[in-house]
Structure 1
C-alpha cells in the first residue's frame, strides 16, 4: 500500500469514532488503545479501491471501508475474550480485556459496532434504493445468524461436531469468509456490478477467505506469538477448529495452494470484464508470498507431513 494512502486510511480509522470529553475514562482508554492499533488495513484498502473502481464517491468509499473495518475489529475484541479464545495478544499488544477487563472490551466492541453502522449507512444511503436494499440485506446476512455469529457459535462448540475438513471449512465460511465477502462484494453491489461480476467476486471471497483461514491455522501451529503478532497454540489447547490439526500440516499446505489456484482462475475472469479491479492481483501476490513462506517452513520441518 502506498504510504500516503495508508496514512489516509490510518487517520480515518483513528478519527472516525469521535470520543467526547465526557466519556468515562476507562472506556476512553480502551477505545484509544484499539484505535491506535489498526493492523494492516488491507481490508479497508480493498473496500476503498473496489468502491472507487465502481464509481462510488471517495467519501462514501472511506466511510464504507472504515465501517466494515470497525465491524471486523469489534469481532476480534469479542473473539479474544476469556469466554471465547482466551487470547493474550492481538496486533502485537496485550488484548483489550487484559487491561480493561471483559466489560471494558465488550463496551469498546459495542462502541465500534454502533459507529460502524452509522458509517456504513452514511455510505449506503447515497446509492439508489434497489442497490441500497440489496447492500443492507447482504450486510445483515453476513454479520448475523447466517454468517459471522453462526460461525463463531460453531467454533465455540466444535467439541460436539465432526473433526474433519468439511466442518472446519464450514466454520471458516461463517467466521472468515463472511467478512471477506463484505470486503469484496458489498462495495460492488453499491457500485452496480453485474450479476456475473458479483458471482466472480463471491467465488474469489470464498477461495481467499478459506486460504486466509488456513494461513491463520498454520501460523497457530508453526509460529511463535511474536512471529504471528497474536496468541498462538490456542486451537489445540482449546479444541478449536484448525485444518492443519485435522488433515496435517502438509495436507493444509496442499489445500492452501489449491484454493489459491482456484481464486486465481476467478480473478483472471473478473479482470477481463472489469479491468479496474486488477489491483487485486497485488493482494493475491501477498497471499501467495505467505503461502510460500509457510510451505518453506513445512519443508524444513521433518514432522510436517500429512497426518
Structure 2
C-alpha cells in the first residue's frame, strides 16, 4: 500500500490493460514449448524459454504499474482489503496444492503398499516388501538409498525457522518506523532463503550421485522430488517477492501503517516455513 495513500471515497478501478492478454499469450507459448520439449520436437526448448522470458517481462511491467498506482495515491482502504482477501485466497490455493501431494504420499505409504503386500498379491509379486523406499513390485527400479534428516534437511530447517524470525523482526521495525533496521533484517531473510536453496541443490546432487535417487526411482523418488522440488520453487518465489519488497524499502516506499506488499510477502514466506516443517517430519523422519 502506498506511502501516499489517499483518503478517497471511491474504489479504484484501473483502465483497460494489455497485460492480462500478453500474460495469456506468454503462458500459451510456454506450455506449447514445454509440451514439444518432452516430445523431443525441434526448437521446442527455445520456444519454452521464450515464453518464460516473455511472462517475466509481462509480470515485471504489470506489477510495476500496480506499484506506480499505489505510490501515486490511487489506492485506499477498500483496495487494501481487496488485496488482503486476494492474498488469503491465493495462499489457500497453495495449501490445497501441497495437500494433494501430501495426500499422494499418504495414499502410497498407508494404502497402496499394504495392499500390494497382502496375500492375494503375493502370487504376482512374492518378493515385494511393504517398506517405504522399496524398488517396486517386480524390482524393476534401480537400487537407491532413501534420504534421511541429517545433515542438510536439518540445517535447512534451522535456516527457514531463523528466516521467519528475521522477517518478523523486520516487520516490527517497519511498523516502528525504523527503515534501516527493516532493510537489514529483510536482507538477512533473503540471504537465508538463498542459502536454503544452495543447500537443497547440494542435497539433490548428493541424491543423484551418492544415493542413486532420481525422479524415476519409483513412488518414493516421485513423491520426494515433487514435494521438495515444488517447495524449493516456492522458496525461490518467496525470496524474489521479499527482494522486491527490500528494493522498495530502500526506495522509500511504505509507511508504518500502509505496507501491505510487505505483509503479503511475509504471509507467503511464513506459509512456506510451515510447509517445510511438514515436509521435514513426513518426508525425512517417518
TM-score, structure 2 length as denominator?
0.27
Q: Which has the higher contact order (CA 8 A, sep 6+)?
A: 2
TM value normalised by structure 1: 0.26
